[in-house]
């Protein structure tokens, strides 16, 4: 089992937005994708995932639709809205700037 | 975009809660199934896989809770829940709810009604275009701040033009008759032809006066009010062009004003307008003040510039005609301000203030009720706080409760205000059916709503905040019944009671003063006697009674005819009745003395009276003689003066036999003083401005508007009314006899608006007293119930029942006395306010304050006596065991 690491505050939103920018997914799909991309280093807690999804839907970043999965099951698919995309690029920029700063300090201090 | 999307989402979250809830469950079930399937692939049995998935997923309920919170309406949803809970809690104690709602309803209702009155009288805009340019101009003299102008003043000012267009009006009552109807006296104004246009009013039917109709001989045209069109002519569509007789002369109705013009606040209740049409004699008259000015300031002139222009003009006039104008100055006031009247703003402010006191008492009562309720549940709150409820969670149900109470109270208040206003409208309806329109319109409803909300927040949340200050541990440890509250809470509740008593004291003092003052006005017998006196008014038409000779003949004949009736002691005719004040002030000089500087001659108010007048109205003759039939129009002029004038002009000498001159512009008419009579005072609340009173024979100073006075002998005054009417109509079928009724009824009616005010004040005072009584009873009763164990111990230790009773009574009395003490200061303030607004009223505050203080103390004792008796009835064993 991979070690479960706590995500930094706000980074889950960024990861979800990024994953959804490749195409729409349902909640389960998002957890799978995140696990897969992080090579199982990251296991998203459902207890954080769904509130985060609802919050972002309320903010208008995501749009949800009920659709059939490939196994013919009904599931709720989340997709990025325009303002979700804007938010993603903004958050990505912020993150990169921040992590550069953190790296810089860790290396030089 | 995203905003609308978000809004849409949130609205859906709010209104389609059930759907969303189902979707959320379905979504999570899908997730769990997928996870279980994954585990099953790893080789777990389906049951184990499901359990593993659930374990991983965590607490589904709490997850759903967090999901709901993310949707953003939880606070509203849970507030809805709070409201439901609060409703249930309130329904559990209907007595408390009833008390609170009625308390609030009365307080807010009284205040709302007063606010509505204030709006209708002071704030409703006058129905004229560019009303801010409209002004009244007054001529201020020593006797009258809002004095009138002579016709020559008017013509001069009009010619000067400048900053103002000016219009003039003069009161002119006359007898109006049309075919097939008994004649009646119409309330009328003579107006300059430009007055309606200057206001910006167009007749609804017909036309306005034409400028050329503002001249003698051309003026036989009338414009009537909408109300008169309805009441006298039944809204006849062919009203324009109809001929009616004014004092016997045919006039044509040329216009009907719109209903909106009927604004009682401005011109009064005028039924008929006719052109001013100054006669040549009037137009050159600089002495007789007869006109009121209405002016429109040109838009390029500021009010200050306008005022400066007017006073400069007055100074110029005074320089040119010092005899008539030296002692007067001109001033302006916006029309909007002038309609509220002299006492208006003060009275309205006082009423709103006093009704605010009622509301405050109601509010502090509510705060006390809620505080007591919260304290009684202190343990419950402490337990909830101990279990981890946040402050907000503790506060919300309390806020919900007070919000519900406020809504209930507000609804009740609207009912109260409606009844109040309806009553006031009925009560303040005048003689001619003039009615002040009062109602609940939007601003008033908003006021009521805001007042309720304010009350709820201020006085509902205050106790709730105290609940938050609770010391959890101390409360949990203290007795099972809940505590009386800490020292601080106890203080607050006592403070509220003290405040209530102070406010109630102020209300009661105001009401007591006013009730006594008005009773004194209505029963005043200041130099006259109204019991057994019947009065009526006649207006003699100028065509049939052109001069003093005809009026004197009418006077003699009427007296002879009425004195012949059985039960009649004496009859008089006069320009006015003493209880309604005197006529115009005139200036006089004493013969044989140096003439005072122009304009500084002593002034006296005058009355024209027939023989036997003093006997009829009951004014004592102190010296000399009454007027007699020998004082003919062409006989030497004679005067009778009152005591104040006799002593003022002839100190230490006899006034009888001295000669006075009456100023007529720069001319002087000389006459002899033949008698001195007692001073008389009117029944009005305003102070009579002039102390000197002078009488002339009706034959020599003949007024066309005459008051008939009939003194009854042995019979009740009311019994004479019908015989008098029969006798008068038999002789003068075309002469309307107005207000034929016992003098006392008319006196009562004269101050009916003060009567409304008195009733309002009385009502507020009773409300305040009732609420304060309830408050002190509630607080003492509850404190006693909570101190029952203590009393039990005291009794068990040998205290006597008397000691307990005394303890309880003393605690109530202490609060009442403190309140009364503070109230004394406030009561004194109210009495000063009333005295400044109604200087003619006798307002002695000493007895009123003493009486009210005594009453309040008695009420407090009574309100504490009931709980005291219960406290004394405590069975020590039972109380001690109960814990």
Look at A51 and B70 and tell me if their CB atoms are within 8 Å.
yes
Tens of pLDDT, residue by residue over B137-172, are 888 877 677 788 888 889 998 888 778 888 998 887
Pick the residue of B21, B22, B23, B34 with the most A CBs within 10 A to test the interface with A by mutation. Answer: B34
Q: Give me Rg for the CA atoms of chain A.
A: 15
Averaged pLDDT, B10-21: 68
Q: With a cut of 90, say whether residue A108 has pLDDT above it.
A: no
Averaged pLDDT, B527-547: 86
Look at B9 and A82 and tell me if their CB atoms are within 8 Å.
no
Look at A51 and B28 and tell me if their CB atoms are within 8 Å.
no
CA distance A60 to chain B (A): 5
Averaged pLDDT, B528-536: 89
Q: Give SS3 for B614.
A: helix
What b/e string do you get for A66-91 counting C-beta neighbours within 10 Å, with b at 16 or more?
A: eeeeeeeeebbbbebbebbeebbeeb
pLDDT band at B639 (very low <50, low <70, confident <90, very high): very high
- Report how far Cα A70 is from the mean position of its chain's Cα atoms: 22
Residue percentage of chain B with pLDDT more than 70 = 87
> Minimal Cα distance from B31: which residue of A?
A28
pLDDT band at A3 (very low <50, low <70, confident <90, very high): very low
Averaged pLDDT, B763-767: 86
Strand partners, B293: B137, B168
Look at B2 and A26 and tell me if their CB atoms are within 8 Å.
no
Residue of B645, B675, B683, B646 whose CA lies nearest to B529 = B683
Residue percentage of chain B with pLDDT more than 90 = 11
First to last CA, chain B: 65
3-state secondary structure chain A: CCCCCCCCCCHHHHHHHHHHCCCCEEHHHHHHHHHHHCCCCCCCCHHHHHHHHHHHHHCCCEEEEEEECCCCCEEEEEEECHHHHHHHHHHHHHHHHHHHHHHHHHHHC
Contact of B277 with B219, CB cutoff 8 Å: yes
Q: With a cut of 60, say whether residue B3 has pLDDT above it.
A: no
Residue of B643, B751, B747 whose CA lies nearest to B693 = B643
pLDDT band at B480 (very low <50, low <70, confident <90, very high): very low
Length of chain B: 883
Q: What is the pLDDT of residue B430?
A: 62
Q: Chain A within 8 Å of B16 (Cβ-Cβ)?
A: no
Q: Is the model more confident about B494 or about B610?
A: B610
Domain total in chain A: 1
Q: Chain B within 8 Å of A99 (Cβ-Cβ)?
A: no
Tens of pLDDT, residue by residue over B215-250, are 888 889 999 988 888 888 888 888 899 988 887 788
Structure tokens at B45: 């049995």
Tens of pLDDT, residue by residue over B111-139, are 888 888 888 777 777 778 888 888 888 88
**A and B: number of Cβ contacts within 8 A:** 76
Q: With a cut of 90, say whether residue B341 has pLDDT above it.
A: no
Q: Is the model more confident about A106 or about B523?
A: A106
Q: Is the model more confident about B597 or about B208?
A: B208
Tens of pLDDT, residue by residue over B44-95, are 787 887 787 777 666 666 666 666 666 656 666 677 888 888 888 888 888 8
Q: Chain A within 8 Å of B1 (Cβ-Cβ)?
A: yes
Task: Report yes or no on A1 lying in a domain.
Answer: no
Task: Report yes or no on A2 lying in a domain.
Answer: no
pTM score of the predicted model: 0.66
Q: What is the pLDDT of residue B609?
A: 92
Task: Report yes or no on A92 lying in a domain.
Answer: yes
CA distance A70 to chain B (A): 13
Look at B63 and A46 and tell me if their CB atoms are within 8 Å.
yes
Look at B71 and A58 and tell me if their CB atoms are within 8 Å.
yes
* Full residue range of the structural domain in which residue A55 is found: 11-108
Q: With a cut of 50, say whether residue B763 has pLDDT above it.
A: yes
Q: What is the pLDDT of residue B570?
A: 93
Q: What is the pLDDT of residue B756?
A: 79
Q: What is the pLDDT of residue B319?
A: 86
Q: With a cut of 80, say whether residue B291 has pLDDT above it.
A: yes
Pick the residue of A54, A55, A71 with the most B CBs within 10 A to test the interface with B by mutation. Answer: A54
Q: What is the pLDDT of residue B10?
A: 61
Q: With a cut of 50, say whether residue A2 has pLDDT above it.
A: no
Look at A51 and B2 and tell me if their CB atoms are within 8 Å.
no
CA distance B67 to chain A (A): 5
Pick the residue of A12, A26, A50, A85 with the most B CBs within 10 A to test the interface with B by mutation. Answer: A50
CA distance B56 to chain A (A): 8
Please state which of the ranges B255-269, B432-446, B462-476 shows the lowest mean pLDDT. B462-476
> Minimal Cα distance from B29: which residue of A?
A75
Contact of B606 with B696, CB cutoff 8 Å: yes
Residue of A102, A18, A12 whose CA lies nearest to A54 = A12
pLDDT band at B361 (very low <50, low <70, confident <90, very high): confident
Look at B27 and A75 and tell me if their CB atoms are within 8 Å.
yes
Q: How far is CA B733 from CA B553, B560, B564, B637, B769, in A?
A: 17, 18, 19, 33, 56
Look at A51 and B63 and tell me if their CB atoms are within 8 Å.
yes
Tens of pLDDT, residue by residue over B803-822, are 878 888 888 888 888 888 88
Look at B1 and A82 and tell me if their CB atoms are within 8 Å.
yes
Q: How far apart are CA B62 and CA B77, in angstroms?
A: 17
Task: Report yes or no on A5 lying in a domain.
Answer: no
Look at A81 and B67 and tell me if their CB atoms are within 8 Å.
no
* Minimal Cβ distance to A46: which of B1, B31, B71: B31
Q: What is the pLDDT of residue B541?
A: 81
Q: With a cut of 50, say whether residue B1 has pLDDT above it.
A: no
Q: Chain A within 8 Å of B73 (Cβ-Cβ)?
A: no
Q: Chain B within 8 Å of A77 (Cβ-Cβ)?
A: no
Q: What is the pLDDT of residue B28?
A: 81
Q: With a cut of 90, say whether residue B613 has pLDDT above it.
A: yes
* Minimal Cβ distance to B2: which of A26, A51, A60: A60
Pick the residue of B53, B67, B76 with the most A CBs within 10 A to test the interface with A by mutation. Answer: B67
Q: With a cut of 50, say whether residue B40 has pLDDT above it.
A: yes
Listed by start position, the domains of chain B span 2-72, 131-338, 344-522+753-882, 541-734
ipTM of the complex: 0.80
Q: What is the pLDDT of residue B59?
A: 67
Q: Chain B within 8 Å of A66 (Cβ-Cβ)?
A: yes
Averaged pLDDT, B255-268: 75
CATH code for the domain of A44: 1.10.10.10
Look at A51 and B67 and tell me if their CB atoms are within 8 Å.
yes
Chain B residues within 8 A of A26 when measuring between CB atoms: 27, 30
Q: What is the pLDDT of residue B26?
A: 82
Residues near B576 by beta carbon (within 8 Å), at least 6 away in sequence: B582, B583, B607, B707
* Minimal Cβ distance to B70: which of A27, A54, A73: A54
Task: Report yes or no on A6 lying in a domain.
Answer: no
Tens of pLDDT, residue by residue over B364-391, are 888 777 777 777 777 777 777 777 777 7
Chain B residues within 8 A of A73 when measuring between CB atoms: 30, 33
Q: What is the pLDDT of residue B67?
A: 66
pLDDT band at B252 (very low <50, low <70, confident <90, very high): very high
pLDDT averaged over every residue in chain B: 81
Structure tokens at B877: 């064993």
CA distance B467 to chain A (A): 34
First to last CA, chain A: 34
Residue B791 C-beta-side C-alpha neighbours within 13 Å: 26
Q: What is the pLDDT of residue B16?
A: 66
Q: Chain B within 8 Å of A59 (Cβ-Cβ)?
A: yes
CA distance B26 to chain A (A): 8
> Minimal Cα distance from A58: which residue of B?
B6
Q: What is the pLDDT of residue B718?
A: 84
Q: Chain B within 8 Å of A72 (Cβ-Cβ)?
A: no
């Amino acid at each position: 089992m991979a070690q479960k690491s706590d995500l930094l505050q706000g980074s889950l939103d960024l990861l979800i937005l990024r994953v959804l920018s490749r195409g729409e997914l349902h909640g389960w799909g998002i957890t799978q994708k995140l696990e897969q991309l992080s090579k199982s280093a990251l296991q998203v807690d459902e207890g954080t995932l769904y509130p985060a999804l609802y919050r972002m839907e309320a903010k208008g970043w995501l749009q949800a639709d009920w659709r059939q999965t490939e196994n013919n099951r009904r599931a709720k698919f989340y997709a990025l809205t325009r303002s979700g995309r804007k938010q993603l690029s903004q958050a990505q920029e912020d993150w990169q700037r921040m992590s550069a700063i953190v790296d810089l300090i860790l290396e030089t201090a | 975009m995203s905003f609308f999307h978000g809004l849409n989402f949130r609205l859906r979250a709010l209104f389609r809660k059930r759907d969303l809830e189902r979707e959320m469950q379905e979504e999570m079930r899908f997730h769990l199934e997928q996870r279980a399937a994954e585990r099953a692939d790893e080789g777990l049995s389906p049951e184990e896989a499901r359990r593993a998935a659930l374990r991983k997923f965590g607490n589904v309920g709490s997850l759903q809770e967090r999901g709901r919170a993310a949707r953003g309406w939880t606070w509203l949803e849970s507030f809805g829940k709070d409201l439901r809970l609060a409703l249930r809690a309130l329904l559990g104690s209907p007595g408390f709810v009833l008390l609170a709602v009625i308390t609030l309803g009365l307080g807010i209702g009284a205040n709302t009604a007063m606010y509505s009155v204030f709006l209708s009288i002071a704030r409703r805009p006058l129905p004229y275009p560019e009303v801010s340019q409209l002004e009244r101009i007054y001529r201020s003299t020593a006797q009258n701040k809002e004095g009138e102008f002579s016709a020559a003043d008017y013509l001069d000012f009009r010619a000067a033009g400048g900053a103002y267009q000016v219009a003039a009006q003069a009161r002119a009552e006359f007898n109006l008759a049309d075919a097939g109807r008994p004649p009646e006296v119409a309330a009328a104004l003579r107006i300059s032809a430009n007055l309606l246009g200057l206001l910006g009013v167009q007749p609804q039917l017909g036309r306005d006066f034409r400028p050329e109709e503002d001249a003698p001989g051309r003026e036989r045209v009338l414009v009537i009010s909408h109300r008169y069109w309805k009441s006298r002519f039944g809204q006849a569509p062919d009203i324009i062009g109809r001929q009616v007789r004014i004092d016997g002369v045919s006039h044509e109705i040329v216009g009907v004003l719109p209903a909106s013009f009927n604004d009682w606040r401005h011109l009064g209740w005028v039924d008929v307008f006719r052109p001013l049409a100054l006669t040549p004699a009037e137009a050159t008259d600089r002495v007789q003040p007869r006109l009121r000015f209405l002016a429109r300031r040109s838009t390029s002139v500021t009010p200050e510039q306008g005022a400066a222009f007017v006073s400069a003009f007055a100074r110029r006039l005074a320089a040119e005609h010092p005899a008539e104008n030296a002692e007067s100055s001109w001033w302006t006031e916006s029309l909007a301000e002038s309609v509220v009247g002299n006492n208006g703003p003060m009275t309205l402010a006082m009423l709103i203030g006093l009704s605010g006191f009622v509301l405050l008492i109601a509010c502090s009562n509510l705060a006390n009720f809620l505080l007591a309720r919260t304290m009684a549940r202190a343990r419950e709150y402490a337990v909830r706080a101990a279990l981890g409820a946040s402050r907000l969670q503790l506060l919300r149900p309390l806020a919900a409760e007070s919000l519900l109470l406020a809504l209930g109270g507000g609804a009740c208040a609207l009912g109260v205000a409606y009844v109040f206003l309806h009553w006031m409208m009925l009560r303040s309806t005048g003689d001619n059916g003039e009615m002040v329109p009062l109602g609940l319109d939007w601003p008033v409803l908003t006021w009521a709503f805001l007042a309720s909300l304010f009350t709820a927040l201020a006085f509902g949340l205050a106790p709730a905040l105290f609940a938050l200050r609770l010391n959890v541990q101390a409360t949990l440890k203290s007795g099972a019944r809940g505590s009386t509250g800490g020292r601080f809470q106890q203080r607050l509740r006592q403070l509220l009671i003290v405040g209530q008593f102070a406010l109630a004291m102020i209300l009661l003092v105001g009401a007591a003063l006013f009730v006594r003052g008005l009773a004194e006005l209505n029963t005043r017998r200041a130099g006259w006697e109204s019991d057994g006196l019947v009065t009526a008014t006649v207006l003699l038409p100028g065509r049939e009674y052109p001069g003093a000779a005809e009026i004197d003949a009418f006077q003699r004949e009427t007296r002879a005819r009425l004195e012949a009736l059985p039960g009649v002691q004496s009859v008089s005719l006069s320009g006015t009745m003493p209880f309604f004040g005197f006529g115009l002030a005139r200036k006089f000089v004493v013969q044989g003395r140096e003439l005072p500087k122009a304009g500084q001659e002593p002034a006296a108010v005058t009355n024209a009276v027939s023989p036997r007048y003093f006997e009829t109205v009951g004014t004592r003759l102190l010296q000399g003689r009454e007027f007699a039939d020998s004082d003919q129009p062409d006989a030497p002029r004679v005067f009778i003066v009152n005591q104040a004038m006799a002593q003022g002009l002839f100190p230490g000498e006899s006034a009888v036999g001295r000669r006075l001159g009456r100023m007529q512009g720069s001319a002087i008419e000389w006459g002899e003083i033949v008698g001195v009579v007692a001073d008389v005072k009117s029944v009005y609340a305003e102070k009579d401005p002039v102390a000197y009173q002078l009488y002339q024979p009706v034959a020599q100073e003949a007024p066309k508007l005459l008051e008939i006075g009939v003194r009854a002998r042995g019979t009740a005054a009311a019994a004479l009314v019908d015989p008098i009417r029969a006798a008068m109509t038999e002789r003068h079928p075309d002469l309307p006899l107005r207000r034929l009724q016992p003098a006392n009824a008319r006196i009562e009616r004269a101050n009916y608006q003060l009567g409304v005010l008195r009733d309002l004040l009385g009502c507020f005072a009773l409300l305040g007293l009732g609420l304060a009584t309830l408050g002190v009873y509630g607080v003492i009763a509850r404190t006693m119930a909570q101190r029952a164990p203590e009393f039990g111990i005291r009794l068990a230790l040998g205290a006597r029942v008397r000691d307990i009773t005394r303890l309880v009574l003393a605690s109530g009395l202490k609060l009442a006395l403190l309140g009364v003490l503070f109230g004394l200061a406030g009561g004194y303030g109210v009495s000063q306010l009333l005295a400044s607004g109604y200087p003619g009223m006798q307002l002695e505050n000493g007895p009123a304050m003493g009486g009210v203080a005594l009453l309040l103390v008695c009420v407090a004792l009574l309100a504490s006596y009931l709980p005291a008796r219960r406290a004394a009835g405590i069975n020590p064993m039972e109380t001690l065991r109960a814990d």
